[in-house]
Structures are given as C-alpha cells and as structure tokens.
Structure 1
Amino acid sequence: MSVASAKYQSEYLTVSEPTVYSPSELKSEDMLINIGPQHPSTHGVLRLEVLTDGEVIKDVIPHMGYLHRCFEKHAESVPFNQAIPFVDRLDYVAAMNSEHAWAMGIEKMLGIENDIPKRVEYIRVLVAELNRIASHFIAIGTYGLDIGAATPFLWLFRDRETIMRMLEWASGARMLYNYIWVGGLFYDLPVGFEERCAEFTAYLRPKLKELQDIIIDNHIFINRTANVGVLPLQMAVNYGCTGPVLRGSGLKYDLRRVDAYSVYPELDFEVIVGEGKVGTVGDCWDRNYVRVQECWESLKIIDQCLEKLTKEHKRDRDFDPQAVVPKKIRPKAMDFYCRAENPKGELGFFFKTDGKSDIPLRAKARACSFNNLSVLAELSKGWMIADLMAIMGSIDVVMGEVDR
C-alpha cells in the first residue's frame, strides 16, 4: 500500500466514536416566526406571531387588524334598519344568520316580536339553516385543504354553490343578502323555491354520507386531528367559546334550544356534542365531527320548515312579508342585549338607545369568532408547527367578525 493510500484510510475511512452530549450541554434557541397573513391557512388576513423551540410551539399571539370593518361605528351612524348591509359583512359566509340575530333583537326592543307572521318566521329559519350548512361546508372544506386534502374542498364548494344560488334566487344577492328585515322580509320566497329546496335536501343526504367517509372517518384525517389541540370544557367556558368549539368539548349549549327563539321550539333537532369517539373529547376531530353532524340536523330543520310552509302557512297572493315592518324604529331609552346561534357560536348585539332617535347611541357586536380565536394560544402550546394549522382550522374563524 502506498503512503498516500495509507494516509487516506487513516484520515477518511476510520470510524471514530460518536460524541455524546448530556442534556445540560445541549443548547436551544427560540425562534420568532410570522405565519400569515399571506399563509393560505390563515386565509389572507390573520397574522400569527409564533414563538418556537425548533418545531415545538412555545407561544402563539394572534394579530388582527387587516380588514378594518369599523362595524360598530357604521351602526352608530345610520338607523337600525339601514345597518343590515353592514351586519351582512360580519360573518360574510353566514350573513342570513347574522341578519336574523340583528332583526330579532330590534323587534324585541320594539315589542313586536310576537306580531311577526309565522310564514315569515319559518322562512327566516329556512334560509338561516341553509346558510348554516353553507358555512359549515366552507369550514370543513377549507380545513381539509389546510391539512392537505384537496378533493373534499372541491366537493363541498360544488354543493355549497347550489345553496348560494338558491339564496341569491330568494334575495337577489349572492352572498350579502339584506333579506331579513326588521319586522319581516325583503320578499316572500320565489315561486317554486320550496320544491327546489326539497330536491336539494334529497340530493345532499347521500353526499353528506360520502363526506363522512372521505374526511371524518378517514384514518389519515383521524391521525392528523385526533388528540390534537384538546380544549378542556372548563377552559372553553372560561374563554367564552361558543358554537361547535364549545360543543366539541362536550357541553350541550345551543341558543336555538337555550333561548328557544323564533320557531325553533316547534322543530325537532338534536344538539350535537363531541364524544371523543376516536380521540379525546374536545380535540380537533371532535370540533369537525360536530360541524358535520350539525349539517344533518340542519337538513332535518329545513325539511320541517318546508312542510310547514307548504301545508300550514302556505303561499298567499295577499301575503305581505313587510306588513309588520315599522315605518320608524324608535325604541325606548334602554340598554339591551340580544343573541342568536350563528354557525360559529353566539353572535350578540348590545344596543344603547336614548328613546329620541332611530340611530343607536352605542352598538356593540359580541363576535363568536373573536372569543373562539382567543383560545388559540392555549391550544397550541407544546404542539408542532404543522399541528398549529390543524388547530387553527378547527376553530373556524371569519376575520370579518374578529376585526369588526
């Protein structure tokens, strides 16, 4: 062997013993990472300031302020009935539900809630439940996209499009409807709406079953979401979480039952809660499970409304959906709070009036997305960055409500 070969083997081919470091000798350095607002999983308008140790999350600070809706100040500058287009833009994927809450609150202030015709009430619930399904379809579809599944997103948006066209048919607007008015509705349902709606519910039932098979019961989806981002019930209550985020933690709290508003007491439906079927109660899987099951319950409600509208409270050529709409909205001087069950939780409105004007002195929105988002830091600590996207998506926030 040549001298050069021997030197090469001694320097490069000899396996040396690995150096073993004790934990006290290992050094770590915290990193501050900005995720969003350009990140697809933050949906364009939310920035998460994430403190990490490698891939492990130590803290998350959500930063809002990229929409600047100024909802409250808009509502304090126009009469109550003219603020409905601004209400539409809070949770802009569930505008009918937001309008319903606003209109009911003002009707209660005026003392006319018992004067609303039954046909109007059933139409309100019908369009609100259609919008609830459309909202949940966005939540579930974009959630699948956030963690790597594109097909469910396309399927759900295909079926959501049918709902959007039906609501546009009824209101004249595609997404921001201004349909539910104080004291009534903009229009009665168009002729043939009930029949087409019944056809849609019959079509959607097998599609929902496919949705459960391809997402909720999919073992890859379960591995990504089960036991991840567990929200204990007490923590959910302390943070003021509502909607599927709260019910996913096991509490049967649904304002449609608790407050029994509109015609919901006359309808048969169940309040769905997380049960920890594949993981821990209150995890990411449970929150999505609640949304899917609520779509089934909304279909039940829609079918019952259609039956009432076609048999008991039928279409009448003399029916005026604006018959109870007040000419002037001037409630007594009071502080008043009203609330309703939106797809994302409790949407509440606080009003302060002076009894002299039809413009509120103070209007304040209790936005469910804001409260639900506040618990993100607690859910994310100790998880990996990839899990943060799964946790964030499971909360289902709409930033029009958060930065209102």
Structure 2
Amino acid sequence: MKSFDPGTVSQQELVLNLGPQHPSTHGVFRMVLDLQGETIVRVTPHMGYLHRGFEKLAERRTAVQYQPYPDRWDYLAAMFDEMAYIGAGEALLEIEVPRRAHVLRGIVMELNRLASHLLWLGTFLLDVGALSPFLYTFREREMILDLLMELTGARLTYAYFRFGGLHHDAEDLWLKKVRAGIPYFRHRVREYRQLLDENEIFRRRVQGIGVIDGDMALRYGLSGPMLRASGVGWDIRSHRPYGIYSDVPVPVKTHNAGDTWARYVVRMDEMETSLDLLDIFLEMIEEGPILSKVPHTVKFPAKETYFSVEGPRGELGVYLVGNGTAYAHRLKIRPPSLFNLQVLSHLLIGHMVSDAVAILGSVDIVLGEVDR
C-alpha cells in the first residue's frame, strides 16, 4: 500500500456560492464563501436582487397613494412598515391620533411581532435540522394571520393604518378572540422553550457560534434582537417610545453571550413580552373615534422628520422630507435587516460551512426591506 504524503494535499481555496435560490438564505440573497477545507476564510455578500425602488416611488405617488407600498418592505411584519411611514407623516403634519387608534395599533403590531417571530423560529430550527417545530410554529402563526385577516381583509399586506388613525374599527368580537387566544399562545411558547432550552443537541448546534460583542454590534449599527443579544439594552419602545408605548413600560430583555443561542433566547423572551403587552393593551381599550380629521388631500409641509419603530428585526426608520405638495421630496428607509446582514462577513469567519446556515438563520433577514 502506498504511504500517504501530506505534500500531495491541495491547499487551494474553494469558492462556494450559497444562493440566491438556496432555501437557507430565506430569499434572493447570495453569499460567496471562500473556504479552506470546511472552514470559512472570507465572505462576500451580494444583495439587491429584490430592489423595487420604493424610495423613488414615494416621490412619484401622493402621500395617500403611497400608503399601500410600505407593506411590501418587510412583508412578514407589515404593520411596522405602516407605522413607520404613517408615523413620519403624522409627525410632519402634526396630527393628533385618537387614543383608541393608538391602542389598536399597539395590539396589531404585537400580534404581527408574534407572527414574525413564530415564522423565524420555525425556519431557524429547520435550518439546524429540526423538522417538527417548523410545523408547530406555522400552525400558531396561521391563527394570528387569521385574526389579522378578519380585521383587515389581508393576510400579509394590510394597508390598515391611515394618517390620523386607522381605516376602520375593530369589533368587540374580534377583541374577545384576541383575548381568548393569549393563554393558548403563552402555553405554546412555554412548550417550545421546554423542548429547546435544555435540548443538548440544539444547544451544541448553536452555542458559541456567530459571536458578536456589544461594541462591535454598535459599530455595525445593529438593532433589535441582534443588539440586545450582545448585551446592549436598547429598545425603541422603551427608550424612545411612540404611540401607546408612551403609556406602557416595556421591559428590555438582553443576553450577554452575543452568539446564535443568545439571539434565540432574546426572541423567545420577546414573544412572552408581546403576550404581556397584549394583555395590557386589551385592558386599556376604550370607546372612541379611530380617525382624526385630516384634509382630503394630504400635503407634506416643507420640513423634515425621522420616525422609527421597534420592529421584529430592529429599528425600522423613515426619514421624510416634505416640500409643501402632496408628494414627498425625499423618503429614506432605514431597514434593520440591511445593517444586521452586513455583520455576516464578521460573524462567519473561522466557522464551518454547516454553521453558516445556522448563523444566517439567527440573523432573521427579510430581503424585501434589505433591497427595498
């Protein structure tokens, strides 16, 4: 038998394309990985496949005509897109929103946050090899989508928010259904944690990989669960409150590990917080109007504003400049997934190819808001 000669082993790097059609990229996103064996030594992300020109469209549509477009930014959490755009417009127009509309906005946003996190949890666990939880989380998410569809008529793109309030009111029966569903969802979230928190296979798969510390997270401009999982306790609902969050203290849950496991823990904590907030909002609901008096033709005054919300993926902001007409002079979107995605080139270096999918899944990107 011929003896093995280490000198005959090739040291040439291998270039691996991951995406843009690969299911683990969760959309049309492509990564070029330079490998030495199974180890990642360089990452080149390629974005823009889903660019649709939403910022320029705001200059070609009136303020009212543009209202359905934000739903298509982050199509998994459209209520937050609407809140960001409508909130920026209300700040420019100096519109006072009725209290009932504020509370209903809070209810639908926290429901939407729950639905988004459930989808993330199912697909993330599928990425690391767990099939059954994917089916469970989609079952629960479907119930939330049914509630939102009953209220708005749509499953994903709602067009429910309006300058000064909401398109229409919520019926008492719908509110009772939301209240009745909270104990069920609370039980399910706890059940997921029982299945996963002490699962040795899952913990070994995600602990200690994709680590980013707080200083690095701040330098990259991370926000949301990505930032809080690195030990930085920043949540816009608590530190720069808007709408009904100005009247309700929101606990900020953090984790210091900064790894893939920490991002899982923070999002699970967020789901429990959302259920607590829903309980509070349902107790705060009171009779009253859901829409202020707003001119039929909305014209943005010649000034500027920045308005941001705490979405499921982090800080979603809108910089809006008016010019005295019904058209925006400039609309700039600050998408959290874009900033969170740019840290990949730091997170993946030195890890195995098999870990890349788990790390990317823990970032929770939506390409609609990345590419805009």
Task: Please confirm whether the aligned pair reaches a TM-score higher than 0.5, indicating the same fold.
Answer: yes
The 5 A counterparts of 1:264-303 are 264-275=245-256, 281-303=257-279
The 5 A counterparts of 1:208-227 are 208-227=189-208
CA contact (8 A) 1:37 1:44 kept: yes
SS in 2 for 1:321: coil
Pick one of 150, 157, 182 that aligns with 2:163.
182
Counterpart-to-counterpart distance in 1, 2:137 and 2:295: 39
Tell me if 1:38 matches 2:7: no
Tell me if 1:342 matches 2:311: yes
Counterpart-to-counterpart distance in 2, 1:168 and 1:326: 28
Counterpart-to-counterpart distance in 2, 1:205 and 1:241: 28
Shift of 1:129: 0.4
Residue 362 (structure 2) aligns with: 394
Shift of 1:170: 0.9
Residue 57 (structure 1) aligns with: 40
Residue 331 (structure 1) aligns with: 300
Residue 93 (structure 2) aligns with: 110
Counterpart-to-counterpart distance in 1, 2:83 and 2:133: 30
Pick one of 282, 288, 301 that aligns with 1:306.
282
Shift of 1:43: 2.1
Counterpart-to-counterpart distance in 2, 1:360 and 1:187: 25
Counterpart-to-counterpart distance in 2, 1:402 and 1:358: 27
Counterpart-to-counterpart distance in 2, 1:352 and 1:258: 24
Counterpart-to-counterpart distance in 2, 1:382 and 1:325: 56
The 3 A distance-change label for structure 1 pair 44 and 102 is closer
Pick one of 143, 146, 150 that aligns with 2:131.
150
Shift of 1:74: 1.5
Shift of 1:21: 4.4
Post-superposition CA distance 1:169-190 (Å, at most 9, x none) = 1111111000011111011002
Counterpart-to-counterpart distance in 2, 1:347 and 1:248: 18
Residue 323 (structure 2) aligns with: 354
SS in 2 for 1:80: coil
Shift of 1:263: 1.5
SS in 1 for 2:172: coil
Residue 403 (structure 1) aligns with: 371
Counterpart-to-counterpart distance in 2, 1:191 and 1:326: 29
CA contact (8 A) 2:88 2:320 kept: no
Shift of 1:229: 0.4
Question: How many residue pairs end up in the alignment?
Answer: 372
Shift of 1:334: 1.8
Shift of 1:26: 5.8
Post-superposition CA distance 1:146-196 (Å, at most 9, x none) = 111111111111001111011111111111000011111011002301110
Counterpart-to-counterpart distance in 2, 1:328 and 1:137: 39
**TM-score (normalised: structure 2):** 0.96
Between the aligned residues of both structures, percent identity stands at: 40
SS in 1 for 2:332: strand
Counterpart-to-counterpart distance in 1, 2:261 and 2:105: 31
Residue 75 (structure 2) aligns with: 92
Shift of 1:215: 2.5
RMSD over aligned CA atoms reads 1.5
Shift of 1:232: 1.1
Counterpart-to-counterpart distance in 2, 1:223 and 1:300: 31
Post-superposition CA distance 1:377-401 (Å, at most 9, x none) = 1000000000000110000000000
Counterpart-to-counterpart distance in 2, 1:90 and 1:232: 29
**TM-score (normalised: structure 1):** 0.89
Pick one of 84, 99, 103 that aligns with 1:101.
84
SS in 2 for 1:28: coil
Residue 248 (structure 1) aligns with: 229
Gaps of 5+ in 1: 1-11, 276-280
Residue 381 (structure 1) aligns with: 349
CA contact (8 A) 2:308 2:317 kept: yes
Shift of 1:205: 1.1
Counterpart-to-counterpart distance in 2, 1:297 and 1:195: 20
The 5 A counterparts of 1:67-146 are 67-112=50-95, 115-146=96-127
Counterpart-to-counterpart distance in 1, 2:139 and 2:81: 24
Shift of 1:338: 1.2
CA contact (8 A) 2:101 2:291 kept: no
The range that moved more, 235-244 or 34-43, is 34-43
Shift of 1:80: 1.8
Counterpart-to-counterpart distance in 2, 1:66 and 1:216: 36
